[in-house]
Amino acid sequence: MSERLRFKVEGMDCASCARKIETAVKRIGGVSEISVNTMTETLTLQATRATAPAIEQVVRALGYPPRLIEPLTLTEAPPMTTPEAAGCGCGHDHGHADEHDGHVHDHAGHDAAKVAASAEAADAHDHDHGKPLDGPWWKSPKGRVVLASGGLIAAAFAAGWEFPAAEFWIYTAAAIVAAFPVVRHTLAAARHGSFFTIEMLMTIAVAGALLIGEAGEAAVVVFLFACGELLEGVAAARARAGIKALATIAPTTAQVETEAGVVEMAVGRIAIGATVVVRPGDKVPADGTVLSGISAVDESALTGESMPRMKHAGDVVFAGAINQEAVLRVRVEKPATDTLIARVVRLVEEATEAKAPTERFIDRFSRYYMPIICGLALLVATVPPLLFGMPWEMWIYRGLTLLLIGCPCALVISVPAAMASGLAAGARRGLLVKGGNVLEQIGRVKHIAFDKTGTLTEGKPKVTAIVALGAATETDILRLAAAVEAASSHPLAVAIVGHAKERGIAIASVAGGEAIAGKGVGGIVEGRTVLVGAAARLGLDAATVAQSEKLEADGNSVSAVVVDGTPIGLIALRDEPRADTLQAIEEIKALGLQPIMLTGDNKAAGVAVGRLLGIEARTGLLPEDKLAAVKLLAADGGVAKVGDGINDAPALAAATVGIAMGSGTDVALEAADAAVLRNRIGDVAALVRLSRRLMAVVRQNIWIALGLKAIFLVTTIFGFTGLWIAILADTGATVVVTANALKLLGEKGK
């Protein structure tokens, strides 16, 4: 049966590598939906498990060591209650699944494995191209080629002074040493369907230079190409580091409570519901709920929040957060494969697979560009000698130079390198984006549409005013109201009780407390009958009702406090804007965007918040009304919709870009294209700035790649530049655009 297979493929440095692998794998029967991601070094496709060995054989033949990824999910792990089941407490994993170098042993595929093993034995020569640069560069296969060919070139240069006759042959040896892996990869790629590759261009150029007696040029060209390959590998590894760093945030082991005491075990083996002990200085091993303990927890690696947060019993903690002060006991709520950080890593990896519009255009362009350049080089090499009797050596040399200059590596890598850096940089700041296309679009929208409750506001009512009626003081009003509201879970009751506690008011005991249908809550406090409810429903005098309505006109919900039948005061409550909302709205306006509020709340509450923030407020909207408004804004220059609730999901999905608050519902997070994990409105402006900075880097990279090629194409045709300048321009441009993209990783967000 066909399934989704995922392979780790080491050594991919650029889009050219990805294209060779994709072309080769397409030729295997039964394989479809192929996706190659150079930034995460993965190959994902639809195929049967029996096809995996054939896929590995083809990819390995191209020079890229593959490995089938089969992660063990937490839900598959058996319950752990004893040290033996937990892994002996020594950190070793004695689970039934046999894991060898990252593979989970598949008993169903023995025959296919035998085929792969024999194929690998038949193809046992070393493919250096795919080896990752894990250690010092000089110990890598590419590094050894650079050192060997460079040493021979230096020897040839020295021989030119003392032994001129040997110079040509030493240069030839240097060219052969450096060109051997190139020629091997050229033949492998051609055998599997990729003819127009940089290796092919290099092979033709070196062979041609040797044939016309330019051994020195050939040696220098292929040496510079090897240097460029080495530098590309280093640059690609650095570009991937931002994404890989995310995966290292969560720990790999945890201290788990069992019947035999606390034992250490692999995080992937912890059962849901297990209790883990997190000591000061330890990282939280899994998403869960605090059972006991009070401690400050640093979540900056997950959300970018600079200040630690105090965690008490009942609070949620996330894998990768650092416990700072005291021991916490945490109940595991989610498997290791579904923690917040795991989802972030997975979404960032998937996002790098989703090509942005600019990247798709460059990819299509390069597919036509390569054959055109090859044809142009052929014309330059043959037309002047054939039609005008010019020297063959001169024009073959210029044709070969043109062939190298035309290589599109720098152009092709310019966009994905920037996109990967931008996505990783955003994730490190708590800005999660589900694709390069999304990140590209965010900076282009004209409107930002916000939900009110839980997005622009805290989502929790707060006391905004206490109005005394008669001789009662604010303290008396709040103390009596809190007494009868203390047993209620209604948001307004919780807000009144919380405000009383903040002011240090002792809450009196209540007798006979009860909810009175249609009116409010009441009870006996200090021998007096106290009732708290809406003024209009309690049958109060016209003057009190008028004062209540005045407060309601400002967007407040008003509770009247009545003692022994006489109103003594009014308490106004309102869902207030978040602390950073006003500044964030000003930042959004400064970016040239138009903020607007779309809310299902009543007109008074919505208009009051809109007036405080200085934005247009459209109130009383049902989900379908929000959807219609978003569609109109999307047609008028594009819109980013920001929300957190289930009722926001349709509008989030229909917007040009949907942005969910990190504390929002799962439905909203799934429907959205991006999320701000810190729940700060200011991060919406940060997303826009990141998008615009990213696209500026993309434009710079494209101009660098195309500009250098245009200059050297002209100078080559007129004979001003030679082979070694051509390859230096190409590999140099590739390294420059990659380094330029890496700037996004180092920039600090506001």
Cα 304 to Cα 290: distance, rounded to the nearest angstrom: 21
Helix (H) or strand (E) holding 557: strand 557-563
Q: Which three-class secondary structure state does DSSP give residue 543?
A: helix
In this structure, are residues 269 and 321 in contact, taking their beta carbons and an 8 Å threshold? no
Tokens representing residue 445 in the block? 């929208």
- Within the chain, how many helices (H) and strands (E) appear? 23, 28
Distance between CA atoms of 167 and 142, rounded to whole angstroms? Answer: 25
Half-sphere exposure of 254 (CA within 13 A, CB side): 33
List the one residue out of 577, 550, 612, 570 whose CA is nearest residue 460: 577
Whole-number Å distance between alpha carbons of 142 and 326: 49
What is the residue whose two structure tokens read 């927890």?
A: 297
What one-character DSSP code corresponds to residue 594?
E
Burial, 653: exposed, middle or buried (Cβ in 10 Å; 0-12, 13-18, 19+)? middle
User: Residues with Cβ < 8 Å from 387, sequence gap 6 or more?
Assistant: none
β-bridge pairing 639-643 and 275-278: unpaired
Q: What positions carry a catalytic annotation?
A: 451
Round to whole Å and give the CA distance between 263 and 734.
50
Give the ranges where 591-681 is alpha helix by DSSP (H).
603-613, 623-635, 649-654, 666-671
Closest CA relative to residue 542, chosen from 565, 524, 567, 507:
567
Helix axes 392-405, 682-717, angle to 10 degrees: 180
Cβ atoms within 10 Å, residue 275: 17
Residue 700 near residue 379 (C-beta atoms within 8 A): no
Is 318 within 8 Å of 302 (Cβ atoms)?
Answer: yes
Q: Are 243 and 742 in contact (CB under 8 A)?
A: no
Alpha helices in 279-339 (DSSP H): 300-303
Cα separation, 659 vs 357, whole angstroms:
20
8 Å CB contact between 393 and 194: no
Asked if residue 381 lies in contact with residue 396, where contact means CB atoms within 8 angstroms, the answer is yes
CB 81 within 8 A of CB 87: no
Q: Name the nearest CA neighbour of 470 among 560, 574, 573.
A: 560
